Amino acid sequence: MEFIQKRLRESAELKLRLGSAELEPFRAFVDATCRALRDGGKLLLFGNGGSAADAQHIAAELVGRYALDRPGMPAIALTTDSSILTSVGNDYGFDSIFERQIEALAAAGDVALGISTSGNSNNVKRGLLRAKRIGRITTAALLGRTGGDIRTLVDHAIVIPAHDTARIQECHITLGHILCEMVEADVAERSAREEA
């Protein structure tokens, strides 16, 4: 029981320590996502391992629903199509799996969210750089530790200042849920204004 409580306390304390350095770029990313979805853009998410699962989880909440019944929102996890992942990985290399999908699917007005607990995942970095080259795509990243190489490459770097991968991931998915809730609140507010 003591071990379980220790881990729960570590997770809670890390989340409560997040301050303006982490939350201001997160708020800016949420605002950019709301704007993009309002204007017909989409959210593209990607990462590796547990971060791939987080990308899929967040996309599912937006396409389906988080807490409110509302129209589905365009969010695509670039981690789910095994044929694309294996063909691009085989033909171009694993470092190209997100870059190639961004090239094929992203357009001006979209938001690209890379997730990397180290901040150094090369395929995530290359996907975000491709989004930058396309232009007029907002780039953001959920990161850990010091933010790694990716921190300076994106418009909005949300860095969880911890070294334990599990605790970083727990913060990432909590922020993912907050994103979904705030996006849904934006949709509900717009619907109420239109009905008034």
Please state, for a pLDDT cut of 90, what percent of the chain lies above it: 95
Instruction: Tell me the pLDDT band of 9, cut-offs 50, 70 and 90.
Output: very high
pLDDT digits (tens, 9 = 90+) for 110-130: 999 999 999 999 999 999 999
DSSP string, 75-121: EEETT--HHHHHHHHHHH-GGGHHHHHHHHH--TT-EEEEEESSS--
Architecture of domain 2-195: 3-Layer(aba) Sandwich (3.40)
* Averaged pLDDT, 175-195: 90
43: left (phi over 0), alpha (psi -120 to 50) or beta: beta
List phi, psi (to 5°) of 189. -65, -40
Cα separation of 156 and 139, whole Å? 7
Instruction: Tell me the pLDDT band of 195, cut-offs 50, 70 and 90.
Output: confident
- In this structure, are residues 112 and 106 in contact, taking their beta carbons and an 8 Å threshold? yes
Predicted pLDDT of residue 122: 98
Cα separation of 194 and 77, whole Å? 30
pTM of the model: 0.96
Say whether 194 sits in a helix, a strand or coil.
helix
Give residue limits of the domains in the chain.
Answer: 2-195
pLDDT digits (tens, 9 = 90+) for 37-96: 999 999 999 999 999 999 999 999 999 999 999 999 999 999 999 999 999 999 999 999
Q: Residue 135 carries which side chain, given as an amino acid letter?
A: G
Say whether 160 sits in a helix, a strand or coil.
strand
Cα separation of 73 and 60, whole Å? 10
- In this structure, are residues 156 and 143 in contact, taking their beta carbons and an 8 Å threshold? no
Residue 125: partners with Cβ closer than 8 Å, 6 or more residues away: 114, 116, 149, 150, 153
> Residue 34: pLDDT above 80?
yes
Query: Could you count the other beta carbons within 10 Å of the beta carbon of residue 15?
Result: 15
Helices (H), 119-164: 122-134
Q: How many residues does the chain have?
A: 196
Q: Residue 110 carries which side chain, given as an amino acid letter?
A: D
Mean of per-residue pLDDT scores for the chain: 96
